[in-house]
Amino acid sequence: MGIDAKIIDSYLEEKSLDKVKNHWIFHSISPSKYLFEEPLLEDYGLIKNTYKQIKKAFKTFKPLNLKLWESIFGQYEGIPKTVSIYLVVGCPDPYDAMIREDNNGNLSMIFDLAILSKYTKEPSKVYELILQMITHELTHVYINNDYKDKTKNLSVHEKMKYIMFDEGFAHFLSYKKEVLTIDWEDENLIRKKKKAYSTLDYEMNNFIGENEKDLLERSNSGPYWDKFGALSGLFIIADYYISHDKDYKSIGELYKKGYNYMWEYWEMMK
């Protein structure tokens, strides 16, 4: 694991991104697009504090819900040495954290500190948020090792299966510090689940070919509770957990069954 902070360091020193705005990251956020947004100077102090907190987090990081994590992926041995970490500013909202391949095809975890700094102005909550973000992105790295996404040239149906699985586990493991203590049968969460399930069902049944990119992006980006693909995955995991007497090991069993089985389970539960 190596941390590259050239972009954020340049910004904090220059109060501008002019020297780094052509970095490969801004050309890789979205295929065939250059996406860049200069941070607001009024957020300089918040960004600086977030930088301090995220460096602290990486020094001693362990995933949230470690017992559950290890039941899925095995004993935690740290962030793989082959994965680079980029601490940046300049990505447009909603690209707060993401996994991308660098110019050599290596996996990179990218965190935009300007966007992260806007989520809360309470210093005590910044650190917790950062732990959630790192857990989320690292989950994608581990899933990629076990289930590398091979759906690029397949149907939108197959791509959505992978999104539900990949984003579902990333959202579940990073949802809260003690995710297994959540009351998943709470009325408010049940309403959110029904909305996610029904939206995904509607979108898949009314999909028009030329809107594939838009559909896939909407399914896992934007406001948290609108990400119907990712949230359907989150709630399917919760449903499976409940149906197996809330045995946390059942979640690892669901993971091992793969994304085709998880989709079939959603079709049964929706």
pLDDT at site 150: 75
Note whether 68 and 251 are within 8 A (CB). yes
Spell 195-232 as b/e; 16+ CB within 10 A means b: bbbebbeebeeeeeeeeeeebbebbbbeeeeebbbbbb
Q: What are phi and psi of 91, to 5 degrees?
A: -80, 140
pLDDT of residue 16: 96
Give the domain ranges of the chain. 2-146, 156-269
Q: So what's the pLDDT on residue 213?
A: 85
User: Exposed, middle or buried, 27 (CB in 10 Å: 0-12/13-18/19+)?
Assistant: middle
What does each of the 270 residues of the chain score in pLDDT, given as a tens digit?
Answer: 689 999 999 999 999 999 999 999 999 998 889 999 999 999 999 999 999 999 999 999 999 999 999 999 999 999 999 999 999 999 999 999 999 999 888 899 999 999 999 998 777 788 999 999 999 999 999 999 999 877 777 889 999 999 999 999 999 999 988 999 999 999 999 999 999 999 999 999 988 776 888 899 999 998 899 999 999 999 999 999 999 999 999 999 999 999 999 999 999 988
Q: pTM for the full model?
A: 0.94
Burial label for 136, CB within 10 Å (0-12, 13-18, 19+), is buried
Q: How far apart are the first and last CA of the chain?
A: 40
Based on its alpha-carbon atoms, the radius of gyration of the chain, rounded to whole angstroms, reads 19
